[in-house]
């Protein structure tokens, strides 16, 4: 199975409605920094061209688009990766994906933490804390609860 990279969107401004919140200037820089890092890994052959999916919320779309611009990929939207969606539904979706390219999911807390917890530890309650624009890289033979391994966790401040 392809690797899955779970990414939290860049820093977002407060506001209402939640779906319309946009990246702050810092959030834009975080997203761009991570996009450049992924592009360097793609250019070096360390990473294959991924399929990139984002939540429909503005801040995730902005973050995802930065990745797509840097990697030359197309952004697709998944309606079931918003902040309060169920990690089990995402795991079920991953099981249905064909083998091939890595998948990048650009989403939100608490979903990103709960999804990583479900896939690695077997329980969403064992979630991982995600700073803004952080990426958890997972690998698995099958995308079921407790079957993945965390290969790498990278946040903008490390680059």
Closest CA to 102 of 133, 126, 135: 135
Count H helices, E strands: the chain? 4, 6
* Backbone dihedral angles phi then psi of residue 34, each to the nearest 5 degrees: -70, -35
Burial category of 80 from C-beta neighbours within 10 Å (exposed 0-12, middle 13-18, buried 19 and up): middle
- Per-residue pLDDT averaged across 42-52, rounded? 96
- Going from N- to C-terminal start, the domains of the chain cover 4-158
Tokens, residue 71: 């990697």
* Secondary structure element (H or E) that encloses residue 8, with its range: strand 4-8
Is the pLDDT at 9 greater than 80, yes or no?
A: yes
Is the pLDDT at 90 greater than 60, yes or no?
A: yes
Q: What fold, for 4-158?
A: Rossmann fold (3.40.50)
pLDDT reported for residue 125: 85
- Per-residue pLDDT averaged across 131-157, rounded? 96
Give yes or no for a contact between 79 and 57, defined as CB atoms under 8 angstroms apart: no
Percent of the chain surpassing pLDDT 70: 99
Distance CA 61, CA 132 (A): 14
Give yes or no for a contact between 21 and 11, defined as CB atoms under 8 angstroms apart: no
Distance CA 20, CA 74 (A): 21
Percent of the chain surpassing pLDDT 90: 92
pTM equals: 0.96
* Backbone dihedral angles phi then psi of residue 18, each to the nearest 5 degrees: -55, -40
Reduced to 3 states, what is the DSSP secondary structure of residue 106? strand
């Amino acid at each position: 199975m392809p690797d899955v990279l779970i990414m939290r969107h860049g820093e977002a401004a407060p506001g209402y409605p939640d779906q319309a919140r946009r990246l702050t200037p810092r959030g834009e820089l975080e997203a761009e920094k991570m996009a450049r890092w992924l592009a360097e890994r793609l250019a070096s052959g360390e990473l294959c061209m991924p399929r990139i999916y984002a939540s429909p919320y503005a801040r995730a779309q902005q973050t995802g688009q930065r990745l797509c611009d840097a990697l030359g990929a197309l952004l697709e939207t998944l309606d079931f990766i918003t902040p309060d969606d169920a990690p089990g539904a995402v795991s079920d979706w991953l099981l249905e994906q064909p083998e091939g390219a890595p998948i990048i999911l650009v989403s939100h807390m608490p979903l990103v933490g709960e999804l990583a917890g479900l896939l690695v530890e077997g329980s969403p309650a064992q979630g991982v804390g995600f700073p803004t624009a952080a990426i958890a890289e997972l690998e698995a033979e099958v995308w079921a609860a407790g079957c993945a391994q965390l290969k790498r966790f990278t946040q903008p401040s490390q680059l």
